[in-house]
Structure 1
Amino acid sequence: MSTVLVVEDSPTQREMITDLLKGNGLTVKIAHDGMEALEQVQTFRPDIVVLDIVMPKMNGYEVCRRLKTDPNLQGVPVVMCSSKGEEFDRYWGMKQGADAYIVKPFQPKELVGTVKQLLRG
């Protein structure tokens, strides 16, 4: 079973994403901010990361950049999931190394489909 690290500071969003992914047969680990996410990926290597952008301590762009420049972790797909929906935000997220960018609010099928597609990738 694949493990997803959900990095989200909003309790409501975190619970909704977690329930959605668990309901689709995935194991979910949680980080509340960017620093915690980086600590967790050192402890266990997730199969994929679902990453918010606007968070305390370290934003999602920085987390993504650090994951993608780490030789041990750069192969882990990153899905940015943010309310920042401007074209520039999407461009900047992909430039940091994100494998996909989903704008909140999203359709549950969009998130699950993207995660499953990247896990097959």
Structure 2
Amino acid sequence: MAHILVVEDNNTEAKILTECLQRSGFHVLSVTTAEAAKAMVAKQRFDAILMDVVLPGQSGFGLCRELKNHEQTAGIPIIICSSKSEKFDKNWGLKQGASAYICKPINTEEILQTLKGLINN
């Protein structure tokens, strides 16, 4: 069973994502800040990270860049799932090291397909 870390500060969206992923057979942990995410990846191995851009404290862009610059976490696929839907935002997210960029509102099928494609590669 693949382990997924969800980094989302909106409780409703975190719940939707977590329940969707769990129903699809993933083991999911959810945190609300970049700092909490960094603490989790230091303690446990994840097969993928699904994160928002707008987070309290450090942004998802900054967290993505930081994780991709550390040897221990560089290989973890990161999917950014954000309401920031401009082409600039998507390009910036991918430049920070994200494997995929999905725009909100949450489309669970798109997230599952993207996640499964990244984990199975």
Same-fold call, TM cutoff 0.5: yes
Q: For residues 24-35 of structure 1, what are the structure 2 equivalents within 5 Å?
A: 24-35=24-35
1:10 matched to 2:6? The reply is no
Q: CA deviation at 1:107?
A: 2.1
Distance (Å, rounded) in 1 between the aligned partners of 2:16 and 2:68:
26
Aligned-residue Cα RMSD (Å) equals 0.6
For residue 79 of structure 2, give the secondary structure of its aligned residue in structure 1: strand
Partner of 2:116: 116
- Large movers: runs of 4+ above 6 Å: none
For residue 15 of structure 2, give the secondary structure of its aligned residue in structure 1: helix
Distance (Å, rounded) in 1 between the aligned partners of 2:25 and 2:102:
20
Q: CA deviation at 1:98?
A: 0.1
Partner of 1:36: 36
**TM-score, structure 1 normalization:** 0.98
**TM-score, structure 2 normalization:** 0.98
For structure 2, the residue ranges without an aligned partner over 5 or more in a row are: none
Q: CA deviation at 1:38?
A: 0.7
**Aligned letter for 1:73?**
T
For residue 30 of structure 1, give the secondary structure of its aligned residue in structure 2: strand
Distance (Å, rounded) in 1 between the aligned partners of 2:55 and 2:107:
22
Distance (Å, rounded) in 1 between the aligned partners of 2:24 and 2:72:
27
Number of residue pairs the alignment of both structures matches: 121
For structure 1, the residue ranges without an aligned partner over 5 or more in a row are: none
1:92 matched to 2:97? The reply is no
Distance (Å, rounded) in 2 between the aligned partners of 1:83 and 1:108:
15
1:101 matched to 2:109? The reply is no
**Aligned letter for 2:95?**
K
For residue 73 of structure 1, give the secondary structure of its aligned residue in structure 2: coil
**Aligned letter for 1:45?**
R
Partner of 1:66: 66
Identity %: 39
